[in-house]
Structure 1
Amino acid sequence: MLRSLDLLKETTPRQALLAADEEGAALLGGGSGYAMPWHWHDCLMLLLPSIGVLDLRYETRREGVWMSRDRFAAVPAGHAHETVAVREGQAHLALYVTEAAIRRVEAELGSLHRVRGQLDASALFPVTPEIRGLQALCREDGGDTLGGAAVRSRLAGALLIRCLAAMERSQPLPTASRRGHAAALVDEAKAIVAERLQDDVALDALADRLSVSRRHLTRLFREQVGLSIGAFQQAKRLDAAMELLSRTDLAVDEVASRVGFDSGSALARALRKRDGLSPREIRRLSLARPVGT
């Protein structure tokens, strides 16, 4: 199925269309149950995950490769691909780039010889701090403020330049890397756990959601994080509790409930065991800090 640049610009909801002109477009994607079956475009696509993991499949990699926010994909025009979110809440940004847009960037920056040499196959490239920062700015909702469309268009243009520069300066990442897949899997597990602090971790359900065995997931998690999944969740709960205690006047029982403890006394015992501080002491110390720290 061909999803042409013109079709994308016509059918994308206004709130998801960051920028668009005759040379390309920038779109926000993802959401609940995101899945895009096999299709191709009439221009280059740069796909940048922002939240969660995407399973990307393309002509030479039909078993799929997991992508998280540390890498982006370049899929040349006419190359069939499929994308599926590993879980709900996934978000990504896609840039659609015509030959005219690439020539315009070359006129400003110089020859993109290596980029052009890499446009005969889909490939993954590392995300630089500059790309990540521009990507975050593109995703910010500035509302319908004066000049908002122009700002988003310029941000998308800057992001395109940074992505093309990364392709020009770096080698494609190995798509078959088990280490990369494992890191994405563990990052996804951490994100799921951190989003659900009020609920106890059901390891079997978590493993099923990530399409791996419970044993494999727990082993990878401990290898990469240095903690069990349960211990990681406990640490996140205590961090969230300290934040609430320091920045709100919520009752200790309410704080405990929000971060997954049965009672305020259970939270207090856990805090004293880890940090040697009671909820009252945490609040007293937060009040003693200089403003802005």
Structure 2
Amino acid sequence: MGRVHNEKPGVITVEGDGGEVRWSSEFPPVNLLPEADWIDTSLSVAFPDFSKFVNYSHNRWYNPPSWPGTGPWRPSTSQDTCVSLTMIEPENRVLGPTTIGTIPAGANYIDVRVRLNRTKSPYTFRDQGVPPLIPNEWVSLPGGSCLVEATEIWRRSFDIVLSGNEVQLVRRQSVIDPGPVSAQQPGSPQDNGRLPLSGAGGDPWGQSSYQGWGWISGSTFAGSYRKGHPAALIQHKPPSANGGLGGDTPQYGGKHPRRFNACSINNSAHDFSSTYTGQIVIRPGYIRT
């Protein structure tokens, strides 16, 4: 059974049946104000989409003729394939604060309880749904903090804080930094833009046979290494012939980002924003400091 003791000089402690501390004079007591001083209101916690860009992979195989010469019967073959991906850039963003309400002057403690439902889900991350970490039921938030989403690369959370006599909402979202270019596996999507730049305008695909990634602006290869994480597939086109016997083999292959059979680079469907809506109850009080 529980017990009350003062084994520590000058400290009164109340323990439960399992020895857990139920109350101690070492802890400052809290005096909550009556219900008329509570804040009971609706709450919306919205997280914006991440900063994104498009990565494009174009692989081409070209087999020149086995003997010298030119003309319409000079045999040559060419096949290529492409993949386009949405990439998420690293970030560490603090949003707010936004005022929820005010409590009586002099109050210096808030007890926070929320009930939230995710009403806008992020797009699937690498074909996997992103589950909410807060249940659609009343929960207490000691300290006012709540983690709502966590994936391999991002975290989203919010804090309910007291500033003066204002109760405020602060939202946070972060995407891990993938590290320097030296940390990326050669040939991976994160390794974008590191192929030798042999083509016109520094195009990494301007070779006869090649394989590589590059990030895209418009329909143009836009630069060297850019930090990001592969997040969602835009399109994949498997290998197919572009030419055959004769001189009609395209210079770059039809699936090059500037040619007629390129993979789509439209990632407008990949919206990773999310929103949680519901109710919040704030019980203010006084705590001895």
- Normalising by structure 2, report the TM-score: 0.22
Structure whose CA Rg is larger: 2
The TM-score, its normalising length taken from structure 1, stands at 0.21
Larger % of helix: which?
1
